[in-house]
Amino acid sequence: MNEEVDLQVKPGDAARAIIIRDGKLLVMKRKKLGEDYTTLVGGRVEPGEKPEVTVIREVKEETGVYVAKPQLVFIEDAPAPFGKQFIYLCEYISGEPALSPSSEEYVDHQSGDLYIPEWISVNDLIRNLTPFRSERLRTEILDALTGEFPEAPKSWES
């Protein structure tokens, strides 16, 4: 499949990371505005920033984990007010996930919203105990983990 993907970054777009270590995936478990869900670690692309830079910065800011070699594997075009989610397979370098006291997520944690970065097993991802924010993304990750990640980014609308 050789489909054309839009790599143009717009306000509201985000970069997220697929980080695998010892057969586990790093995720952010959230309780936000009364909703419990799981998502990938990442955040908004700042003006003038490339998404591959964003993903490395956001993972470090949110979790204290260092990653490298981001490879764009998926692009999910989410409905407003969200934008595109540029999703990168990243190489784990070092660190254990913990919220940084200087992160936006830590501040929200203090006000009642919960952000918990943690490693989950593939079995936990299959069981989907805390629903993944995007079911399509969860399925795509599972398919890639049992096969392989795409060489060219796979894109879809959610």
- pLDDT tens readout for residues 50-102: 999 999 999 999 899 999 999 999 999 987 777 899 999 999 999 999 876 66
Q: Which of 32, 33, 52, 34 is nearest to 42 (CA)?
A: 52
pLDDT (tens digit, 9 = 90+) per residue, 57-66?
999 998 999 9
Question: Mean of the pLDDT values across residues 122-143?
Answer: 90
pLDDT confidence tier of residue 31, bands split at 50, 70 and 90: confident
Q: Per DSSP, what are the bridge partners of residue 154?
A: 74
d(CA 13, CA 144): 23
Confidence of residue 9 (pLDDT cuts 50, 70, 90): confident
CB 149 within 8 A of CB 140: no
Q: Please provide the size of the chain in residues.
A: 158
The Cα–Cα gap between 54 and 119 comes to 21
CA 99, distance to chain mean position in Å, is 15
Residue 26: helix, strand or coil by DSSP?
Answer: strand
Determine if the peptide bond prior to 81 is cis (ω within 30°): yes
Cβ-proximal residues to 45 (8 Å cutoff; 6+ apart), any chain: 9, 13, 14, 15, 51, 54, 86
Pairing of strands 154-157, 66-77: parallel
What is the per-residue pLDDT for 6? 66
